[in-house]
Amino acid sequence: MWLKNLIFAAVCLLFASFVFALVVPQPLNSAGDVSLSESHHDIEGTVSAVNKEFEASWQEAGLTPAALADDYTVARRIALSLTGSIPSIEDLRTMDSLAADTRLPWYTQRLLTDRRHADYFAERLGRAYVGTDQGPFLIYRRRRFVSWLSDQIHTNVSYDQLVRELVTADGLWTDSPAVNFLTANADEELNNRPDPVRMAGRTTRAFLGVRLDCMQCHDDNLEGLWLQSNFHELAAFYSDPEPSLAGIRDKSRDYNIKYLDEEVETKVKPAFPFYDSIADATPRDGQSRREHLAAWIVHPNNKAFARTIVNRVWALAFGKPLVTPIDDIPLEGPYPPGLDLLANDFVEHGCDLRRLWSIIMQTKPFRLDSRMETEVSPGHEAKWAVFPLSRLRPEQVAGAIVQSGKLTTIDAESHVLMRFIRNQQVGDFVQRYGDMGEDEFESAGETIPQRLVMLNGNLVRESTDNESPFTAAFRISKLATDDPAAIRAAYHAVLTREPTANEMEHFAGRLENRKHSREKFFEDLYWTLLNSTEFSWNH
C-alpha cells in the first residue's frame, strides 16, 4: 500500500510541477531557436513586395501607420484566423523560449499543419461552397463534404486541384464527398438534378468573386458589363449531371431558357462569360462540359480565380476582405495594394494555400497595432494603416472560451474525450449565441441574447468553475502561490496579454483583501475577463 501511495504522490508532484511551469513565466532561453522550412525564407521577397505597395499607398495618402503590435497580440490574431481559437498558456511559454525573430513564424507554421486549422478552414470554405443548410439527407451529406475538405487542406492539396475536383466530381455523395458540391443544389422539380442556375451562381461567387447570378433574369442595366446570356451560357456547363443508382453521372442534355422579353425558349450553348481567350472555346475529345469549365476556372491566366481566394483568406485573417463585398471583385480593377501581388504569387507557386496564409501573416498590415497614439482616422482604416477591429464570429468566441479554460493546448494530440467535449461545447454555444450563416463578414453589433449567453451561459460557467479541478482558473488558484504570477497567467490565458500596471495593482489588492476563497477570486477574475469587451474582439 505504501508503494502505491508513494507512486501516486510522485505522479501528483510531477503534474503539479508541469502546471506550475505553465503558470509561472520561465526565464527566456536566449539561445532558443526553431528550424523553419525553406518555404518560410522563400516568401520573404513576396512579403517585402506587398509591404512596399502598402507603404507607398500610405505615403501617397499622407498617413503614418500604427506601430507594430507585440508578439502575443499577433499570436492571438494568428490563432483566431487559423483555428478559431486563441493561444494556450502552453503555446505562449513555448514561444517565450524561442528566439524573438522565430516566434511568430514558428507559431504560424505549427498551426498551419495542425488538424484544427484544416477543420476550421474547411468549415469556412464550406459555407461559401455549399452554404450552411443540411439539405436533402438522401442525396446530400454536408458533414461528409466538410470532412473531405478538411482532409484536402490538411494534406495541402493545391487549391486548383481541389476546385477542379469539386466542379467535375461524380459518383455517390457518400463515397465521393466532393459530389456534395453538386447535390447541395439539387432541385426536386428537376427530379433531384443539380440546378444549373444555382450551380452557376455558386460557382461564380465562390471561385471567381463575381456576382453573375444577378443577371439570371435580365441584363446589367447599370454598368452594362454583363448580359443575361452570359449567365445562362455559364449555367449550360452544368446541364448534364443527374442522379442515378451509381450517384451523379453526366447525361448529355440541352439547356433551354426563355430570355427576358422573348416568347419562346432558346437552346443555350455553353460559353465562358469572360477571359474566353485563355482556354479552348470547345472541349477536347472526351472532355465533359464540367471538365471544360473546370479547366477554364483554374487556368493560370484566369486572374479572377486567384484574386477570389486571396480576398477570402485575407478576410479570414483580418476580419474583413481586401475588396468588399467579398464575392464581388471587379474584373478590371482598380485593386487595393497587395491583391494582384498575392494572386500572382499564389498561381506561380502551385496554388499553395499554406504559402498564401504564411505570406499574409507576415505582412506589415497584419503585424500593425490596432491602436495609435493619435486618433485612428477613416483613412487609416481604409488603407490598412492599422489592424482593423472586428467582432469575433460565434465559433471564435466559443473556441476562445474553451481554450482559455485550459492551461494546455486542446489540439489533435489531446485526449479524444477532451476533443469530443470541446466540439460539443462549441456547437451548443454557437447554436445559442447565433450562427452568422454564409454572411460571415457582414458587420453586426452584439445582441442582448448574445450578451446574456456570455453573462449566464453554461460554457462560461463551466470554463470558470472554481470547484472543478480541470479548469485553468482552479489550477492557477491552487498552484500559483505568487499572486502577481497568478494574475498574469489569467490574463495570458484569457486575453493573451500582460495586465497593465493599474490592472495588476487593482486585482492584486482585491486578491490580498478578498472576502472569499482564493478559488472563488480566480473564478470571478476569469468571468470578468471573459465578459470584457476586449475578449470578444479581434484587435
| pLDDT (mean) for 165-190 | 92
Average pLDDT value for the chain: 87
Tens of pLDDT along 450-467? 888 888 888 889 898 888
Angle, vertex CA 39, rays to CA 36 and CA 45, nearest 5: 110
Closest by alpha carbon to 475, among 11, 9, 12, 3? 12
Provide the residue count of the chain: 539
Closest CA to 470 of 516, 397, 414: 414
- The answer on pLDDT for 448 being more than 90 is no
Mean predicted confidence (pLDDT) in 102-115: 96
| Those residues with Cβ within 8 angstroms of residue 412's Cβ, 6 or more apart along the chain or in another chain | 114, 115, 116, 419
User: Tens digits of per-residue pLDDT, 194-207?
Assistant: 999 999 999 999 99
pLDDT confidence of 33, banded at 50, 70, 90? very low
Close Cβ partners of 375 (under 8 Å, ≥ 6 residues apart): none
Query: Is the pLDDT score of 222 beyond 60?
Result: no
The predicted structure's pLDDT at residue 139: 87
User: Percentage of the chain with pLDDT > 70?
Assistant: 89
Contact predicate 369/66, CB 8 Å: yes
- Pair 43, 362: CB distance under 8 Å: yes
Q: 190 to each of 239, 242, 243, 344, how far by Cα in Å?
A: 11, 9, 10, 40
| Collapsed DSSP state (helix, strand, coil) of residue 250 | strand
- CA atoms of 408 and 419, how far apart (whole Å): 13
Reported as a pLDDT band with limits 50, 70 and 90, residue 221 is low
- Residue 223: pLDDT band (50, 70, 90) is low
Contact indicator for 90, 282 with CB cutoff of 8 Å: no
State pLDDT tens for residues 358-400: 999 999 999 999 999 888 999 999 999 999 999 999 999 999 9
Helix 44-61, helix 339-348: angle, nearest 10 = 170
d(CA 475, CA 506): 22
Each domain of the chain, given as residue ranges in start order, spans 115-297, 389-539
How would you classify the pairing of strands 255-257 and 266-268?
A: antiparallel
The DSSP secondary structure of 34-66, one letter per residue, reads -PPPHHHHHTHHHHHHHHHHHHHHHHHHT-PPP
pLDDT of residue 14 exceeding 80, the answer is no
Three-state secondary-structure class, residue 355: helix
Comparing CA positions, the residue from 38, 99, 56, 55 lying closest to residue 358 is 38
Is-cis flag, bond preceding 334, omega within 30? yes
Distance of CA 155 to CAs 116, 118, 123, 414, Å? 13, 9, 16, 20
For the residues of 198-216, what is the DSSP string, one character each?
Answer: HHHHHHHHHHH---GGGGS
> pLDDT class for 113, splitting at 50, 70, 90?
very high
Return d(Cα 30, Cα 218) in angstroms, integer. Answer: 66
Q: What is the pLDDT of residue 302?
A: 95
What does the DSSP 8-state code read for residue 446?
Answer: P
Higher pLDDT, 137 or 473: 473
Residue 305 has pLDDT above 90, yes or no: yes
Domain 389-539, what fold?
serine acetyltransferase, domain 1 (1.10.3130)
- Tell me the per-residue pLDDT of 230-262, one tens digit each, with 9 for 90 and over: 889 999 999 999 888 888 998 988 988 888 777
Residues 6+ apart with CB under 8 A from 108: 78, 82, 357, 358, 361, 362
At residue 312, the pLDDT reads 97
